[in-house]
A and B are shown apart, each in its own frame.
Chain A
């Protein structure tokens, strides 16, 4: 059954509210936690989980809007890092989810890794172009960040899947 425009607006409004809530929780609690020398970073997880369950077009547009919000509020090595990386990550995640992977938390885990890879590659590129950043250190940070952030799926996946089931099915 096709969703009406009103249903779509409610669904994506719910996703936006949940994303903001997760970001607020992240700022309040997870940022105080440092494991392996890095903090967990939730935004790519949110983009990846939504892209893995939703259609490509809306999830890429959501990722674009979410990326702009993140660029406006979170410092990064490039002023437009998330605006570029999140839609790209969402596009790749959505493509893989539809073609290759079975639904579930493992799919979320795989697309999260992809989304992190996109964000981190861009960040590495920005830092390399600026000079003074050595590749092994950046790669090590990217891997540690992915490892430390992945448990965040235990929070993001159930919440966003619940919204997906509630408003899409």
Chain B
């Protein structure tokens, strides 16, 4: 052992340090992923796709054999919900017309919300217990860029694109410890920060911090992206308030949020490639 360390120790240490520095530097400075990272992603893409296909097949079979009565009950509930939504839609149409008339009367600029989506399949959920990421089958070839927001089919925020390769990208989910988003309490309009927390990540939750001192939060309050700074689109639903706590020093309040997107069960998501929102 001593001989080995004397002969090769310095060489191996140097190689490890150089490779580590190289990986860190490429990861830090590159707007998209580095060449090596990109190549690894492209090479492993078919395997990840195969894995995702097999997992989805198994999940499909499990779903197929689930209790039939549950599906009947769900179907009935959905029918009722559709009827309610149709009634709401009719009301919305009348409100929209009225809104347009009033805006015209007052000379107000029309509100606009244009989001460009790219549908993507989830190839892989994170393999590590220390991060929460997704790998998608869309990359620079499809116009996806770092910091694009990712939502699910219902429009709930899933995460933000971190690394992009030619035909793949990695998404940091909203519960990851690296995540920090400008957030808005939908009911009161108060601004805060939604951020990943290590202790909460395992429970699939995140933290709402930097709350104003006079804020009143209720369980079930909707939290959306603030869109301040124009970095991310506004009004994407992050989650709902689960519980409200006070920090260890007893001075600062924070809330625990439950994401509305089912992060573990995602198979398809939508990347917001560009947005134009005028509120």
A residues neighboring B (CB under 8 Å)? 24, 26-28, 31-32, 37-39, 41, 56-57, 60-61, 64, 67-69, 71-80, 83-84, 87-88, 94-95, 98-99, 123, 127, 130, 132-134, 137-138, 141, 145
B153 located at the interface, meaning its Cβ lies under 8 Å from any Cβ of chain A in the complex: no
Q: Is the CB of A134 within 8 A of B37?
A: no
Q: Is the CB of A73 within 8 A of B128?
A: no
Interface SS of B by simple majority: helix
| A26 in complex: contacting residue of B27, B127, B129, CB < 8 Å | B127
A133 to B27 Cα, complex, angstroms: 22
A-B contact sample (20 more), CB < 8 A, given A61-B12, A72-B36, A73-B41: A24-B47, A27-B47, A27-B48, A27-B127, A38-B202, A64-B15, A64-B19, A67-B16, A73-B44, A74-B127, A79-B24, A79-B26, A79-B27, A80-B21, A83-B16, A83-B19, A94-B1, A98-B1, A127-B177, A137-B202
A165 to B125 Cα, complex, angstroms: 36
* Given known A-B contacts A71-B23, A83-B23, A141-B202, A133 and B177 have beta carbons under 8 A apart: yes
Interface SS of A by simple majority: helix
* Given known A-B contacts A31-B125, A57-B4, A73-B44, A80 and B197 have beta carbons under 8 A apart: no
Q: Is the CB of A80 within 8 A of B48?
A: no
Considering the complex, give the chain B residue whose CB is closest to the CB of A37.
Answer: B202
Q: Is the CB of B51 within 8 A of A87?
A: no
Q: Which residues of A contact B4 (CB under 8 A)?
A: 56-57
Which of A38, A57, A61 has the largest number of chain B CB atoms within 10 A? A57
Considering the complex, give the chain B residue whose CB is closest to the CB of A124.
Answer: B130
Considering the complex, give the chain B residue whose CB is closest to the CB of A28.
Answer: B51
Q: Is the CB of A24 within 8 A of B51?
A: yes
Q: Is the CB of B198 within 8 A of A138?
A: yes
B66 located at the interface, meaning its Cβ lies under 8 Å from any Cβ of chain A in the complex: no
Minimum CB–CB distance for B29 against chain A, Å: 11
The contact string, 1 if C-beta is below 8 Å from chain A, for chain B 1-15, is: 100100110001001
Q: Is the CB of A130 within 8 A of B177?
A: yes
| B198 in complex: contacting residue of A26, A69, A71, A137, CB < 8 Å | A137
A73 to B7 Cα, complex, angstroms: 31
| A132 in complex: contacting residue of B16, B128, B131, B195, CB < 8 Å | B195
Pairs across A and B, CB under 8 Å, 27 listed:
A24-B47, A26-B127, A27-B48, A27-B124, A28-B55, A32-B55, A37-B202, A56-B1, A56-B4, A57-B8, A64-B15, A64-B16, A71-B23, A73-B41, A74-B127, A79-B27, A88-B16, A99-B1, A127-B198, A130-B178, A132-B177, A132-B196, A133-B199, A138-B198, A141-B129, A141-B202, A145-B129
Considering the complex, give the chain B residue whose CB is closest to the CB of A144.
Answer: B129
A123 to B130 Cα, complex, angstroms: 8
Considering the complex, give the chain B residue whose CB is closest to the CB of A43.
Answer: B127
Minimum CB–CB distance for A28 against chain B, Å: 5
Number of A-B pairs, beta carbon distance below 8 Å: 111
Q: Is the CB of B24 within 8 A of A80?
A: yes
Q: Is the CB of A31 within 8 A of B127?
A: yes
Which of A24, A72, A78 has the largest number of chain B CB atoms within 10 A? A72
Minimum CB–CB distance for A60 against chain B, Å: 6
B40 located at the interface, meaning its Cβ lies under 8 Å from any Cβ of chain A in the complex: yes
**In the complex, which residues 22-67 of chain B have their Cβ closer than 8 Å to any Cβ of chain A?**
23-24, 26-28, 36-37, 40-41, 44, 47-48, 51, 54-55, 58
| A80 in complex: contacting residue of B23, B40, B47, B127, CB < 8 Å | B23
Q: Is the CB of A80 within 8 A of B20?
A: yes
* Given known A-B contacts A24-B47, A83-B20, A141 and B55 have beta carbons under 8 A apart: no
A123 to B198 Cα, complex, angstroms: 12
B225 located at the interface, meaning its Cβ lies under 8 Å from any Cβ of chain A in the complex: no
Q: Is the CB of A137 within 8 A of B199?
A: yes
Q: Which residues of B contact A78 (CB under 8 A)?
A: 24
Q: Which residues of B contact A37 (CB under 8 A)?
A: 202-203
B152 located at the interface, meaning its Cβ lies under 8 Å from any Cβ of chain A in the complex: no
Identify the 8 closest CB pairs spanning chains A and B, nearest first: A80-B20, A72-B40, A133-B198, A79-B27, A137-B199, A75-B133, A80-B23, A75-B131
